């Protein structure tokens, strides 16, 4: 199961993910993640923390959109002559823009 598959399996349950410092919080009134879902979120925690704005719960649908933007941008830039860190920074910036109300990413 990929991260996208995991998030899609959580969609429709009113789940939000929230960044809280170095941690991730799953918020929902009725949803309990499976062990597999927890393992996938943990494996991708650094990426999720990099995309999520601090202390702002994000619905799964919005996070899926941001993840798609990140993956597409990283794939496109991989064909360039840019170094991997620059590619990562640009892809994260574009993903963060999806989640921020004004469309402007916060400085790293």
Classify residue 74: in a domain, yes or no. yes
Q: What is the pTM of this model?
A: 0.84
End-to-end CA distance of the chain: 30
Residue 28 lies in a domain: yes
The string of pLDDT tens digits covering residues 32-58 is: 999 999 999 999 999 999 999 876 789
Q: Is residue 35 assigned to a domain?
A: yes
Burial of 10-34, coded b for 16+ CB within 10 Å and e otherwise, reads beeeebbbbbeeeebebeeeeeebe
Domain count for the chain? 1
Domain that holds residue 23: 3-99
**Within-domain flag for 86:** yes
Asked whether residue 107 is assigned to any structural domain, the reply reads no
Residue 29 within any structural domain of the chain = yes
The verdict on residue 20 lying in a domain is yes
Asked, for residue 15, whether it belongs to a domain, the answer is yes
Mean pLDDT of 8-29: 89
Instruction: Please give the pLDDT value at position 57.
Output: 84
Lowest-pLDDT range of 13-17, 53-57, 66-70, 104-108: 104-108
């Amino acid at each position: 199961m990929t991260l996208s598959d995991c998030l899609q399996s959580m969609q429709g349950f009113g789940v939000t993910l929230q960044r809280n410092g170095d941690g991730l919080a799953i918020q929902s009134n009725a949803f309990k993640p499976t062990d597999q879902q927890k393992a996938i979120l943990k494996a991708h925690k650094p990426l999720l923390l990099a995309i999520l704005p601090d202390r702002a719960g994000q619905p799964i649908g919005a996070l899926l959109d941001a993840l798609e933007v990140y993956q597409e941008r990283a794939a496109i830039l991989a064909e360039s002559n840019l170094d991997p860190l620059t590619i990562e920074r640009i892809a994260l910036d574009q993903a963060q823009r999806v989640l921020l109300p004004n469309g402007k990413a916060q400085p790293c």
